[in-house]
Amino acid sequence: MAATLPLTLALPTAAASLAYLNARLSLSYDYNLLGSFIAGSVVGNIAQRRDRANLFYVLEGHALNPKTASNVFLIYQNRQWTYKEAYENVLRYATWLKRRHAVGKGEIVAIDFTNSELFIWMWWALWALGAKPAFVNYNLRGEPLLHCIRTSTARLLFVDEEVKAGFSGDVLQELSSGGFRDGKGAVETVFFSKELELEILATNSVREPDEARGGARLQDMAILIYTSGTTGLPKPAVVSWSKVRLGGYFVSRWLGLKKGKDRFYTCMPLYHTSASSFGLSAALQAGSTFILGHRFSPSTFWPEVRASSATVIQYVGETCRYLLSSPPTPLDTQHKVRLAFGNGLRPDVWQRFQERFDIETVAEFYGATEGPSASWNLSRNGFSRGAVGRNGRLASLILGGGLTLVELDPLTDAPLRDPQTRLCRPCAPNEPGELLYRLPDHEDEWGSKYQGYYDNPAATASKILRNVLKKGDAWYRTGDLLRHDQDGRWWFSDRIGDTFRWKGENVSTTEVAELLGTHPAVREANVYGVRVPSHDGRAGCAAVVLDASGEPSVELLKGLAQFVRKRLPKYAVPIFLRLVSAMDVTGTMKMQKGVLREEGVEPGKVGLDRIYWLPPNEESYQRFGEREWKALEAGRVKL
C-alpha cells in the first residue's frame, strides 16, 4: 500500500517544496522577467499591425479616454499637466512647426534643450507630424556640438533659451554656412524664448491625419540619441520604435508601474535613453505620472521627490554616491519611494544607499543606446545586490542563446580564437570576458534588433563580430567585460580599454575603484593606468575626492596604503594617488578617465592637483613631485 500523508501535513509540505524550488530556480522572478518581455513584444507587434507603432498614439489614447484624460501626466517645477492638457499642447506645437517651418513626415529635426516641459512638447510634436527628433546633449560646445548637428543631417535646430550662451559666434557662423550640411544648405537655428512659447501656445491646433504618421515599423528610426563621446566624438545611434515602445513597455511592467497610482521621478537628462526611452516612455505606457527634475543636484533631489510624492526614482552612474555624500537628515526616509531604477549603481554604494534612504527594491539594468539587448536585475535582498543582471533557470534556457562571454587577448583586447576552428573561446563561469549579443547571420534580417549609427555604415559594422560560436554567425560587441556565475547573476568587470596591464597581470579599474570607495575617508575614486618612465605597461593611479579638504594627514596616507595592500593583490595596488577637488563626469553621471589617463602623473601636467605615490618598500603614500619624476626617468627607481 502506498504511503499517505494527512492533508494537514501534505499541504504545508507541498508549499514548502514549491517555495524551495522557486527560490532555487527563481521561477517567480523569471515569470515576471519573461512575462514582461513577451507582453511588450505582443503589444508592440499589435500596434504595428494597426499602424500605431508611433508612441504619439499612446498619448492620444490616454488623452481621449474619459477614464484617464484628467489623470496627471507630467509634473515639472510645481506645475502639472493632465494627459489631455499635454496632448493639446503637443498638437499646438505640431501645428506651429508645420505652419512656420514646414516640418513634415520623415524629417529629422535637432533639438538642444535642457529638461523642461518644452522638451517634451517639442519631442512629441515632431512625432505627431511623423518627423524624428535628434536629441543634442545640451552640455556640448564647439566642435563636438557642430559634429552632432552635422551628423544629424537636420536643416532645423531648436535651442533652449538656457543653452543659447553655449552657441558662440564661430559656431553660429559655421551653422549658417551653405556648405555645412555637405552642400545641402545651412542649418536654420531657432532660439526659444518666453515670447515664442506664448506664441505657440496661442496657436489653434490641428491634428494631422494618420497618413502623416503612417507606415512606421518597429525597426524604423524613432529618435537619434548620441553616444556619450567618452572615447571620441559622439555618434548618432538610431533608436527604433521597437526600443522606445517595447523597451518602455517592458520597464513599466517589470517595475510594476500602476496606472494613475505610480509616480516616476527623474532628473536625468532627457537627451539620454535612460530618461527618455526607459523613463518617460515607461510612465506613459503604464498611464502613470512622470515627474521631471530640471537637472540633478543632491540639494534638490529629495525635496522634489517628497514634494511630488514620487514612488519610483531613477538614477544613472554616480547619482546615488552623490546623494550619499550629502549630510544625513531626519528627512532621509520621509518619502513614498518603493523602488530605485537605473544603471551604473556601484556595489560599494548599493547597500548603503538602500539602508540610509530606506529603499526596498533596486532595479538595475545594463545596456547601451545602440545595443540590441540589455540585462536586468530586480533586487530585493543581498543575493543579487551589486549585479547588473539576473536570470533564473527558465530565463537562461529560453534566452541564454542570445548572449555569450568570450575571452580576450590581454595585450590586444581582440577576442581569443581557437587555433584550429578559428572560433572564439567562451568564458567559464566567473571568468570575465566581453559580452556579446546574438544577431541574425544576415544583415538584412537584423530588423529592429540593431540599426547601429545613423548614416555611418563603417561605425555600425565596427560593432559586429563574426565567426564567434559557428562559422558565419554575427554578434554585437558591447565593449564591456562582464562575468556570469552559476546562480544566474551577471557582474560588470570593466570597460575594454580601461583595464590595464601591470606586472604581467590585468587590473580591473572598476574593482579597484569599488574597493577604494569603501574606505571611510574616500568620497569618490576613479582608477586608471598611467605610463611611467622606464617601466612596461601602466601603473595604477587613483584620482580620489576625500571627505576632508586640505592636506591629508600622515595617518590617513599610511592607512590608505595599508587598506589597499591588505585587500588587493600586489599588482593591483594603486602606485599613485591624485587628489582632486571634484570628479569630472559626463552629462549622464559617468566618470571621465580619458584626460586623467593622458595627463598621467608628470607633475607639470596635472595642474593644481596633488600627486602621491607608494615608493618601493615604504609603508605610506608620500608626496610625488619633480624630483621623484626625474628619478623614474633616470631609472633610479624600480616600481
Task: Give residue-wise pLDDT tens across range 594-608.
Answer: 889 889 999 999 999
Residues 6+ apart with CB under 8 A from 306: 331, 334, 335
Q: Residue 437's pLDDT band (boundaries 50, 70, 90)?
A: very high
The more confidently predicted of residues 632 and 506 is 632
Q: For residue 544, how far is the Cα from the chain centroid?
A: 23
Residue 66 has pLDDT above 90, yes or no: yes
- Grid cell, residue 250, equals 517592458
Is the alpha carbon torsion for 46, 49, 50, 54 positive or negative? positive
d(CA 158, CA 419): 54
Residue type, 289: T
The more confidently predicted of residues 170 and 16 is 170
Domain spans, the chain: 30-295, 394-495, 500-633
pLDDT at 5: 46
Q: Work out the mean pLDDT of the chain and round it to a whole number.
A: 91
Q: Residue 591's pLDDT band (boundaries 50, 70, 90)?
A: confident
Task: Give residue-wise pLDDT tens across range 239-278.
Answer: 999 999 999 999 999 999 999 999 999 999 999 999 999 9
Best CA proximity match to 157, nearest among 129, 135, 179:
135
Is the alpha carbon torsion for 16, 18, 21, 24 positive or negative? negative
pLDDT at 25: 63
Percent of the chain at pLDDT > 70 equals 95
Q: Residue 57's pLDDT band (boundaries 50, 70, 90)?
A: very high
Give, rounded to a whole angstrom, the gap between the first and last alpha carbons of the chain: 77
pLDDT at 506: 80
Q: For residue 551, how far is the Cα from the chain centroid?
A: 35
pLDDT at 26: 79
Which backbone phi and psi does 492 adopt, to 5 degrees? -75, 130
Under DSSP, the state recorded for 277 is: I
Class of CATH domain 394-495: mainly beta
pLDDT at 120: 98
Strands 489-495 and 500-502 come out as unpaired
Q: Residue 508's pLDDT band (boundaries 50, 70, 90)?
A: confident
Fold of the CATH domain 30-295: Rossmann fold (3.40.50)
pLDDT at 20: 44
Strands 576-579 and 539-546 come out as parallel
pLDDT at 374: 93
User: Average pLDDT, stretch 509-534?
Assistant: 91
Question: Which of 33-47, 305-319, 498-512 shows the lowest mean pLDDT across its residues?
Answer: 498-512
Question: Which of 78-92, 194-208, 446-460, 554-568 shows the lowest mean pLDDT across its residues?
Answer: 446-460
Residues 6+ apart with CB under 8 A from 576: 530, 539, 540, 541, 542, 601, 611, 612, 613, 614, 624
pLDDT at 7: 53
- Helix/strand/coil (H/E/C) assignment for every residue in 287-311: CCEEEECCCCCHHHHHHHHHHCCCC
d(CA 422, CA 565): 40
Q: Residue 503's pLDDT band (boundaries 50, 70, 90)?
A: confident
Task: Give residue-wise pLDDT tens across range 529-562.
Answer: 999 998 888 999 999 999 887 889 999 999 999 9
Q: What is the dihedral of CA 601, 595, 275, 378, to 10 degrees?
A: -40
DSSP string, 514-582: HHHHTSTTEEEEEEEEE--TT-SS-EEEEEEEESS-SSPPHHHHHHHHHHHHHHS-GGGS-SEEEE-SS
Strand partners, 526: 543
pLDDT at 103: 98
Percent of the chain at pLDDT > 90 equals 76
d(CA 21, CA 154): 55
pLDDT at 229: 56
pLDDT at 1: 40
Q: Residue 207's pLDDT band (boundaries 50, 70, 90)?
A: very high
SS3 341: strand
Q: Do domains 394-495 and 500-633 have the same CATH topology?
A: no
Best CA proximity match to 110, nearest among 174, 173, 156, 168:
156
pLDDT at 292: 99
pLDDT at 315: 96
Best CA proximity match to 162, nearest among 193, 140, 198:
193
Q: What is the dihedral of CA 79, 309, 258, 250, to 10 degrees?
A: 80
d(CA 497, CA 528): 10
Q: Which CATH number fits domain 500-633: 1.10.3720.10, 3.90.320.10, 3.40.50.10260, 3.30.300.30?
A: 3.30.300.30
pLDDT at 366: 94
Q: Residue 23's pLDDT band (boundaries 50, 70, 90)?
A: low
